[in-house]
Amino acid sequence: MLFSLTYSCQTLLSSFSYLKHNRLSRIKCGGPEVPLLTPEPRGNAYHIERGLEFSTGDAFFRQESATGRDLGVLAASLHKKDNGSLRVLDALCGCGIRSLRYLAEAEADFVAANDGNESYESTIVENLSRVSEIEEKRWVVTHLEANRVMMDYYLQKSFFDFIDVDSFGSDSSFLRSAICTLKLGGLLYVTSTDGFSSGGHRPHHSLAAYGAYVRPMPYSNEVGLRMLIGGAAREAALLGYHIIPLFSYYAFHGPVFRVLLRLNRGKIHDSRHYGYIGYCHKCGNSHEFSWDQLGQMSCSCSMPEVSKSLVVSGPLWTGPLHDAAYLMDMLNLAKQWGWIGCDGKDSLEKLIKVMVDESDPKLRFGYIKLDEMSSRAKINSPSLKTLMSALHQKGYAASRSHISTNAIKTNCPMTECIQIAKELLQFSTT
């Protein structure tokens, strides 16, 4: 019912804009009010996202990825507000929906929209022309290999404030070119859809792509984010820079791993937040290992013997996935634009608030799935809310995970979580 109503509304709005083609129109449906130049329809598939009408043509398009686009637009707009200007490179733009939104909502001064498929040109041009005519020179469309277009801009010393690389599979081959073409203090928004590597099913592929040998772990989707950030951190260090994650977003469709990174001058020489993660299949506890612990990795449940049940992945990013203050700025901007609550579910608000909770510096990498905990303890798991409350009372940090709905991020070891869960069960039966 809701889907049918939404689809009908979108069709009605599309039809209305067609009646006004070649006339200046405004669509106000969450977000900044934007003047749109509506071209004559060509029979393509038309959609509306955050009040912006666009065509997908023959390009691949996922409506489910709208949240990732929302986060990117909010970040780009904050950069424009803080720095006064915004140049965006959309290296793999597809139909151009992200480029359109950076122009219209983030008010980018210039957007370079590139896609290797020349057959998408008419669709991309049609979409960008809704905001600004080509003669205004606020955007350009090219059809080159992504690394080629980025290095061409680098050689011209034409750098960007915000680079979006939204590709299939691994982004690793684009990382160095993107970092070279990014201004210092600029934002790099990169993607990976390589769930096989993050799940530890192709360790030699993850080693080649990101320099990380990844083994199967219960929190593999978080490992995917850390694998991507670690690869970017390695490339940045090679060029004499370091990166700071501002947010990390996982979406189950795909799967999609999206991270926003800020590029800063200077290497971090102490290898902080770049090391190894271990998981013990015997006791369920996780461990972080630094480089000087190589050859000494073990789990306390097997001491003094070598832990045959311990699997180790790395090197990966082991530091924070988000910047809480930055996320709050994004949330406040989303409220200002009317994006919060307009879908009736507050999904964007809930997502950002959970990310803020995940930013607690006391929280460790990974998360504990309640199903795994109850299976190890051979008890029915308490509710997530009840267990979190008990962990807080015991002095542990705990939050929900935006990656897995039935999991807790905490600095409490699995063995202690099991003990607390058993105490809760005993209390509830007395």
Provide the b/e sequence for 16-44 (b: ≥16 CB within 10 Å): ebeeeeeeebebeebbbebebebbeeeeb
Largest CA distance in the chain: 77
At 139 the three-state DSSP class reads strand
Provide the b/e sequence for 296-316 (b: ≥16 CB within 10 Å): eebbeeeeeeebeebbbbbbb
163 phi, psi to nearest 5 deg: -120, 125
What gap in Å lies between CA 99 and CA 141, rounded to an integer? Answer: 10
What gap in Å lies between CA 68 and CA 251, rounded to an integer? Answer: 8
User: What does the block give as tokens for 124?
Assistant: 């991309």
At 48 the three-state DSSP class reads strand
What gap in Å lies between CA 122 and CA 83, rounded to an integer? Answer: 33
What gap in Å lies between CA 123 and CA 125, rounded to an integer? Answer: 6
* pTM attached to this predicted model: 0.88
User: What is the separation of C-alpha 373 from the centre of its chain, rounded to a whole number of angstroms?
Assistant: 27
Positive or negative: CA dihedral 421, 424, 425, 426: positive
DSSP letters for 230-280: HHHHHHHHHTTEEEEEEEEEEETTTTEEEEEEEEEES--TT-TTEEEEEEE
pLDDT tens-digit profile, the chain (430 residues): 333 433 334 433 343 333 333 333 333 345 665 555 444 444 457 899 999 999 999 999 999 999 999 999 999 999 999 999 999 999 999 999 999 999 999 999 999 999 999 999 999 999 999 999 999 999 999 999 999 999 999 999 999 999 999 988 776 899 999 999 999 999 999 999 999 999 999 999 999 999 999 999 999 999 999 999 999 999 999 999 999 999 999 999 889 999 999 999 987 766 779 999 999 999 999 999 999 888 889 898 887 777 889 999 999 999 999 999 999 999 999 999 999 977 656 699 999 999 999 999 999 899 999 999 999 999 999 999 999 999 999 999 999 999 999 999 999 999 999 999 999 988 766 5
> Which residues 6+ apart lie within 8 Å of 316 measured at CB?
212, 214, 223, 226, 227, 229, 230, 274, 275, 276, 277
Q: Is 189 exposed, middle or buried (0-12, 13-18, 19+ CB in 10 A)?
A: buried
DSSP annotation of 374 reads H
User: What does the block give as tokens for 130?
Assistant: 């809704």
First to last CA, the chain: 46
C-beta separation of 231 from 217 below 8 A: no
Cα distances from 341 to residues 19, 151, 351, in angstroms, run 30, 41, 12
DSSP letters for 69-102: HHHHHHHHHHHHHHHS--EEEETT-TTSHHHHHH
> Which residues 6+ apart lie within 8 Å of 221 measured at CB?
195, 198, 250, 255, 257, 403, 404
pLDDT, residue 15, reads: 37
Please confirm whether the linkage preceding 39 is cis (ω < 30° from 0). no
C-beta separation of 285 from 299 below 8 A: yes
Name the one residue in this structure whose structure tokens are 């490992």: 223
C-beta separation of 355 from 327 below 8 A: yes
